[in-house]
Amino acid sequence: MSTTEHSDHMDSDTGKLGMWLFLFTELFLFGGLFIVYAVMRSKYAGDFHHAALELNAFIGATNTVVLLVSSMTVAMSLTAIQRNQKSLAMGLIFITLILAGVFMVNKYFEWGHKIGLHLYPGSDVMKTLPHGEIMFFGLYYMMTGLHALHVIIGGILLTIVMLRINSGKINSQHYLLQENGALYWHLVDLIWIFLFPLLYLIT
């Protein structure tokens, strides 16, 4: 019962189950926003159509590709550590972090452009817009803002993972933290996969 091997095995299973449950709660957190989106979209279908045209689908699509590729690199990194290829694993996480940075820079220009047009909650321009458009931009900032926060948290988590690979704490035998970090990163990606069509594509 108490041999080291056995308890380590238990720990890994247990840790992963905990992470999956935590991811459920994250989905429900965004779920609340999706409900509000659904209600408001059905209430103000026309306004949502007009407001969505303001968004730059090209930047959105670029960011989607960026996140999808980053999900791939983080998964590849996990396979690398399982095969004991330490520097490859670190390199792949580093690429993931770079891609996260690219995503955030795009987001910065996107938000910056809108704020430049005085399209932000409480602005003079916003007050003149029809209700549905105000609601669309409110949801846009709230949803992409909360998602961006998750990108930052995921980035910090993956940085810690990278440092631990470097120090040898994460290795081909013990990679629970990296597995959980990768799961979290996939969640960040998954939520974006829903945000992108809802905000950018459906007009």
Partner 1 sequence: MNNTSTTVPLNYLNHKTGLWSWLSSTDHKRIGLLYLYSITTFFCVAAILGLLMRIEKFAPGPTIMTAQTYNAMFTIHGIIMIFIVVIPGLAAVFGNIFLPIMIGAKDVAFPKLNLFSWYVYITGALLGLYSQFANGHSPDTGWTFYVPYSAEASSNVVIALTAAFILGFASILTGLNFIVTIHKMRAPGMTWFRMPLFPWSLYATAWIQLLATPIVGITLLMVIAERTLQIGFFNPSLGGDPVLYQHLFWIYSHPAVYVMILPAMGVVTEIFPTFSQKPVFGYVPIVFSSLAIALVGYFVWGHHMFTSGMSYESRWFFSFLTFIVAIPSAIKVFNWLSTMYGGSVDLKPPLLYAISFIFLFTIGGFTGLTLGSLATNIQVHNTDFVVAHFHYIIFGGMGFGFFAGIHYWYPKIYGRMYNFKWANIAWAFVFTGFNVLYFPLFIIGIQGMPRRYFDYDPKFQTGQMISSVGAVILIIGLIGMISNLVYHVKRGAIAPANPWHGVTLEWQIPSPPPHENFDEVPVVTRGPYVFDNPVTK
Closer of 43 and 113 to partner 1 (Cβ): 43
Closer of 64 and 154 to partner 1 (Cβ): 154
Window 6 to 25, contacts with partner 1 (CB under 8 A): 10, 13-14, 17-18, 21-22, 24-25
- The continuous run of DSSP H or E covering 54 comes out as none
**1 is a contact residue toward partner 1 (CB under 8 A):** yes
**83 is a contact residue toward partner 1 (CB under 8 A):** no
Distance CA 117, CA 133 (A): 14
Among 72, 75, 142, 148, contact with partner 1 (rule: CB under 8 A): 142
Distance CA 81, CA 179 (A): 10
Among 5, 42, 58, 122, contact with partner 1 (rule: CB under 8 A): 122
Q: How many CB atoms lie within 10 A of CB 89?
A: 27
**118 is a contact residue toward partner 1 (CB under 8 A):** no
Distance CA 133, CA 141 (A): 12
Among 6, 43, 83, 113, contact with partner 1 (rule: CB under 8 A): 43
Distance CA 106, CA 100 (A): 10
- Site residue total, partner 1 (CB under 8 A): 36
The dihedral over CA atoms of 151, 152, 155, 160, expressed in degrees to the nearest 10, equals -140
- Phi and psi, residue 55, nearest 5°: -75, 145
**26 is a contact residue toward partner 1 (CB under 8 A):** yes
Q: Cα–Cα distances in Å, from 6 out to 1, 2, 11, 19, 168?
A: 7, 7, 9, 20, 21
Among 52, 67, 96, 132, contact with partner 1 (rule: CB under 8 A): 132
List contacts with partner 1 (CB under 8 A). Answer: 1-2, 10, 13-14, 17-18, 21-22, 24-26, 28-33, 35-36, 39-40, 43-44, 121-122, 130-132, 134-135, 138-139, 141-142, 146
